[in-house]
Amino acid sequence: MAEFPLAIKNLIAAFERLPGIGPKSAARLVFYLLNTPETYVNEMARLLVAFKKDIKICKECFSVSEDDLCVICQDSRRDRNLICVVERAIDVMAIENIGGFKGIYHVLGGVINPLDHVSPDDLKIYQLIERIKKIKGEKDLEIILATNPTMEGEATALYIKKRINEIDDSIKISRIGSGLPMGADLEYADQATLSRAMDGRRDI
């Protein structure tokens, strides 16, 4: 087998390290870039460097930001008594894209996962508790636990609920709804999802 130019092999290897991109996709991307104008590829390189330099973590909610505080935490129209707790900054993006949420966020930076050696101390749970301590007693205070409906996400939500209850067990804590996704078919739903959908039934 002939050796391909090092510049191509190295770039393929770099793309392969990205999640969801295997050797074939990586090669396809690189050969696609070979036929794109140099300006586009150089612009992409510039954006990569700029992005790592410019993006900070918000001091308040630990989401992505250009300043010390992110645009959401800076926005005075946001309801500071409604905190949505999520695993990652990308989840903030997903919820913001719906467009209706008026509260603020708290990014944990992951979930409790003993197998991957992630303990509560590795997450921003202490910081969440401190934030809640400052606003406890406020009217209409609500903490929405929006970690993923996975085993780790559920366990993390339960752990946080217990910790919040230790401060004040009258604080309203909710968990995002889980059940059948819109457009789904009962027939093909897995047992866990269907069971959750039955438990989560609502009056109409």
- CB nearer to a copy of itself: give 41 or 192: 41
- CB nearer to a copy of itself: give 84 or 173: 84
- The least CB distance from residue 182 to a copy of itself, in Å, is 16
- The least CB distance from residue 8 to a copy of itself, in Å, is 6
- The least CB distance from residue 131 to a copy of itself, in Å, is 18
- CB nearer to a copy of itself: give 49 or 186: 49
Q: For binding to a copy of itself (CB under 8 A), which residues are involved?
A: 1-8, 10-11, 14, 17-20, 25, 27-34, 38, 40-55, 64-66, 70-72, 75, 88-90, 93, 96-97, 99
**Contact 122/156 with Cβ under 8 angstroms?**
no
- CB nearer to a copy of itself: give 4 or 133: 4
- The least CB distance from residue 94 to a copy of itself, in Å, is 9
